[in-house]
Amino acid sequence: QVQLVESGGGLVQAGGSLRLSCAASGRTYSTYAMGWFRQAPGKEREFVAAISWSGGNAYYSDSVKGRFTFSRDNAKNTVYLQMNSLKPEDTAVYYCATDPRPPANWRLRFNPISWGQGTQVTVSS
């Protein structure tokens, strides 16, 4: 089992940037795909981005494509979500997650088996 701890959330003005981090523990971390999800008040949790175990391939939802960048440093057991050009609609609690299945599966639909506790991102207009 992989344990996940997010950090880096906060309050930022529209157009600003934040970088979220997710520190993972567990010996199988580096072999798992990692993902970011978010949940805004009154809405369902939604997929934001996913990255392969090697970090060589990243995938994004249409709502964040071109603004967010997902990366990972397996030597530090940490993944990062660089968020630029933030909009008020990006306001949500952001969660990192893991999916141990092969890419052919998680690329179709990312199904987490582990979640972090979440970090709040608030973008003011």
**Nearest one of 27, 11, 117 to 74, comparing CA atoms:** 27
Question: How do the pLDDT tens digits run along the chain, 125 residues long?
Answer: 789 999 999 999 999 999 999 999 886 777 899 999 999 999 999 999 999 988 889 999 999 999 999 999 989 999 999 999 999 999 999 999 999 999 999 999 999 999 999 999 999 99
